[in-house]
Each structure stands twice: as structure tokens, then as C-alpha cells.
Structure 1
């Protein structure tokens, strides 16, 4: 079989990387199409995945008009690459996968979460042969929509898949018992981020100064705009492929971005999300709040106070670890499901028994 996969962001690389490895080991021909965005191609290189670029995402503008213009040029490149590769099935999301599947006359499998990009869903949904999303999302996407117990991050953070690198503390230069926190600041340059604001510059500086009184602080700045020379914090400068190992060992993650908050929660690390002006209600965060793995805040003072409270609490990491142990292991191993769906070309009725048990048709909450 020939399987085409779209990895447009670092999170997409993680979503598919184990499935790509397993499909190649089974003798299938897999191609990953990607764009230059953040550390996406760095991750593809690190994990040795077979990829080709179809374009570049300009992070200098987050306007919908600019992003739409970029999309037009990228679609043309995608068409040519998809026709030449001749896939038997296409995995992805949004107009990218829809166009590739249409021109290649191949089934399209969309793997979605609860992000608010109605444009992506509206464009791609009519072309999808199979849509997979977490059961906690609340969208009804029709008869070809199937949900699973878990999160898209379960493809790489499920206990059956993820094992932390014990040497990450040595890589970071922190001691075995040294407390450290991660602060993640969003670039807010994706299509669904247009018009949203997270931490202000002043709030970022204040947060880092306050956190540093309780722990060593590492900063992951997606936009790359922060000057840390006069602040009591260090840049997170390990290879981006090691970020989950760093999160697993951390005492706290504070962020105004979604994916890393979800990841930290699933790893059993206290995770705080500052919503800023993002008023969308996400099913994933609501579920992780319910089980005590993630906390969300509308106001800056509230998230700062809670962060300091958790760093001063010597038992907080143990509580989160216990919650993870009792919750995450019962979720679906999404990599298993992706591999099975690929090998059946998105035909749900042909899945093996274990995969059919893992999904349910069109029942978003």
C-alpha cells in the first residue's frame, strides 16, 4: 500500500510518527507531506520519517487574508506531489488532505480534535471517507464520523507507547531532586489563532520572575521573540524531540497554548492553561479538568497565584502522577487504531475486533 500523511505542525509529526514507523516496518510505502513551520521538519529529520515539503508557513502575519494566500500556493504544490505519489489512502486534516485525496482518487481519513477551525472542518468534511476524533469533542460530523476514548496525543503519550528518557535532567543541567518549571508561550500565528491574545509581554516577564523564586524556569517561546538575558529564566534549548521527556520530569507547566497543556496533563505533570482572550470551550480541556490533570484560568493573576501555590506544594506532582495512572492507561492507544485504519484504507467495517471496540460511530458529547 501507498499511504500519504500530512504533518503540518510539530504536533502532527508526533501524532503520526509511530504509525508511520509501524506501517513502513510492515512493508508499506509511506510519504509525509509537510511545510516549513516551527520545528516541524526538525522533528521529521530526528525521527527519520520520509517527507517532502510542499510550502512554508509565514509566521510574520496571523491575518486570515495572509494565511489564505499562503494556502493557495501550497495547494498547487500538494496537487503535484499527490498525483505523482498515487496514494491508496490519505491521512490529515483540512483542505490539505481533502485536495490530495480528491486529485489522487484515494480515500481520505481526517484525524481531528476540538480546535475551533470551522473553516478546516467545512472544507474537508465533504471529501472525508472516515473522520476520527476524541469522544470528548462535541462536534457532530455525520455518518462517517467515529470517536475514540482518548486524545490525539494518545498516539505518542499513551503508557504503552511513551517511555521518558531518564537522562533529560542531565541534558537540562538540573540536579536529580532540583525543582524546575516549563513556561510555554504561543506564537498565535495559526489560522485558528487569528485575533486571539495570550500572555502579554509584561505578564510573561512577571510570571518568569515570580516562578524563579521557587524553581529553575525554562522557557519555550514559540514566537522566538523573548529576550531572557535580564530575566531569571533559561531558554529551553534541547532538541524539540525531547520536550515530552522534559515535561514528564517537570514540576509544573504554565502555558497559553493548548497542545502542550494537554500533553503535560497526560504525562501527569501539573498543567495550567491561561486562556487569554480565547473563549472557545474545548472538550479535551473540559475532560482533563474533570479528572484533575489540567486547570484553566481566564485571568492572569489567578494563573500566576495557582502556579506559585503548586510549586510550593511538595506533594502536587505525586497527586498528578496518581491521577494519570488511574486515568490515562484506560484510554485508547491511538497508534494501534491509526495503523489498522490505514491498512483497511479507512474502511471501518474491515477493522480488526480490537480497533472496532475502540471506536464508536458519531456520538460526540
Structure 2
């Protein structure tokens, strides 16, 4: 079989990397189509995944006009590469995967989450043969929409697939018993982030200064705007493939971005997300809050003060790990599911009965449009 994967962001690389390895080991041909965005191609190189680049996307503040200008050239390259590869099934999300599938007359599998904008869902849904999303996704996307117990991040952070690198503290230059914090500042450059604002510059500085009184602070600044010259913090400079290892060892993650907050929560690290001007609701975060693994804040002072409180509670690490063990162990290993769906060419009725049992058809009463 020939499997085409559209991976547009670092998170997409992690989503598919274990499935790609297993499909290649089984003798299938796999190609990843990607764009130059943040560390996406760095990750593809690190994991040895076969890929071709169809375009690029900068980390400057995004605009609809710039998005429109980029789109035409990217679609042309995706179409050319998809026809050349001639896939049997396509994985992805949004208009890119839908277009590739339509052009090559290939079954399309969309792997979605509770994305805030309806644009990607609306434009790609009519072209999908199968849509997979976490059970907590609020949208009903039709008869071909199936849900699973878990999160997209379970493809690489499920206990069956994630094993932390024991050397990560040495790589970071921290002692075995040294408490450290990861702070993540979002560039907010994606199309769906237009007009959103996370931590303001003075809040970033205040947060780092206050946290540094209790622990070593590492800052991952996606927009590369932070000036560290007189700041009591270190830039996070490890290879991006090690971020989850670093996250698993951290005492706390504070972020104004969604993916890393979800990842930290699933690893049993307290995950605090500052919403800033983002007032949209996400089923994933609501579920993680219910499980006691993540917290969201509308006010800057609240996330700062709660962070300081958690750092002085010696019982927090054991409490969060216990919650993680009780919650995550029952979730679906998404990489297993992706491999099975790929080998069935996106046809749910061809899956084994045991695999079908991990899926539920989305019911209208579950959805919130």
C-alpha cells in the first residue's frame, strides 16, 4: 500500500510518527507532505520520516491576505506530489488533505480535534471517507465521524508508546533533584489565531521573574521575541524532539498555547494554560480539567498566583502522577488505531471487531456545534 500523510505542524509529525514507522516496517510505502513551519522539518529529519516540502509558513503574525497568497502555490505543489505518489489512502486535516484526495480519487481520513474555527471542518468534511476525533470533541461531523476515548496526543504520549529519555536533565544542565519549570509563549501566528493575544510582554517578564524565585525557569518562545539578557531564565534550546522528555521531568508547565498544555497534562505534569483573549471552549481542556490534570485561567494574576502556590506544595508531583495513572491508562493508543485504519484504506467496516470496539459513532446529542 501507499499512504500519504499531510503534516503541517510539529504536532502533526508527533501524531503520525509511530504509525509511519510501523507501516513502513510492515512493507508499506509512506510519504509525508509538509511545510517549513517552526521545527516541523527538524522533527521529520530527526525521526527519519520520508517527506517532501510543499511550501512554508513563517512565525510572524498572520494575515488573511498572506494566507490567500500562499495557498495557491501550496495547493499546486500538493497536487503535483500527490499525483506522482499515487496513494491508496490519505491522512490529514483541512483543505490540504481534502484537495489531495479529490485530485487523486483516494480515500481521505481526517484526524481532528476541537479546533476553534469551523473553516477546516466545513471545507474538508464533504470529501472525507472517515473522520476520527477524540470523544470529547463537541462537533458532529456526520455519519462518517467516529470518536475514540483519548486525545490526538495519545498517538505519542500513551504509556504504551512514550518512554522518557533518562538523560534529559543532564542535557538541560539541571541537577537530579532540581525543580524546574517550562514556560511556553505562543507566537499566535496560525490562521485560527488571528487577532488573539496571549501573555503581554510585561506579563511575560513578571511571570518569569516571580517563578524564578522558586525554581529554574526555561522559556520556549515560539515567536523568538524574548530578551534573556537581564532575565532570570534560560532559553529552552534542546532539540525539539526532546520537549516531551523535558516536559515529563518538569515541576510545572505554564503556557498560552493549547497543544503543549494538553501534552504536559497527559504526562502528569501540572499544566496551566492562560487563555488571554481566547474565550472559545475546547472539549479537550474541559476533560483534562475534569480529570484534575490541567487548569485554565482568564486572568493573568490568577495563573501567576496559582503557579506560585503549586510550586510550594511538596505533595503535587505524587498527586498529579496518581491522577495521570488512573486516567491515561484507560485511553486508546491512537497509533494502533491509525495503523489499522490505514491498512483498511479508511474503511471502518473493514476493521477488526476489536478495533471497531474502540470507536463510537458521533451522536448528535453528544455534539455542540
- Structure 2 length as normaliser, TM-score? 0.98
CA contact (8 A) 1:117 1:191 kept: no
- Secondary structure in 1 matching 2:254: strand
Aligned ranges 1:1-365 → 2 under 5 Å: 1-363=1-363, 364-365=366-367
- Stretch deviating more after TM superposition (285-294 or 354-363): 354-363
CA contact (8 A) 2:61 2:188 kept: no
Aligned partners of 1:259, 1:344: CA distance in 2, in Å?
A: 29
C-alpha RMSD of matched pairs (Å): 0.7
Aligned pair count reads 365
Residue deviations 1:239-274 (CA, integer Å, cap 9, x gap) = 000000000000000000000000000000000000
List runs of 5+ in structure 2 lacking aligned partners: none
Aligned partners of 1:53, 1:124: CA distance in 2, in Å?
A: 21
Query: Structure 1 residue runs of 4+, over 3 Å off?
Result: none
List runs of 5+ in structure 1 lacking aligned partners: none
CA contact (8 A) 1:108 1:127 kept: yes
CA contact (8 A) 1:341 1:348 kept: yes
- Stretch deviating more after TM superposition (41-50 or 112-121): 112-121
Aligned partners of 1:61, 1:231: CA distance in 2, in Å?
A: 24
- Structure 1 length as normaliser, TM-score? 0.99
CA contact (8 A) 2:60 2:187 kept: no
Aligned partners of 2:333, 2:24: CA distance in 1, in Å?
A: 19
Aligned partners of 1:27, 1:117: CA distance in 2, in Å?
A: 37
Q: CA deviation at 1:355?
A: 1.3
Aligned partners of 2:79, 2:247: CA distance in 1, in Å?
A: 38
- Secondary structure in 2 matching 1:289: helix
CA contact (8 A) 1:35 1:53 kept: yes
CA contact (8 A) 2:98 2:127 kept: yes
Q: CA deviation at 1:61?
A: 3.3
- Secondary structure in 2 matching 1:116: coil
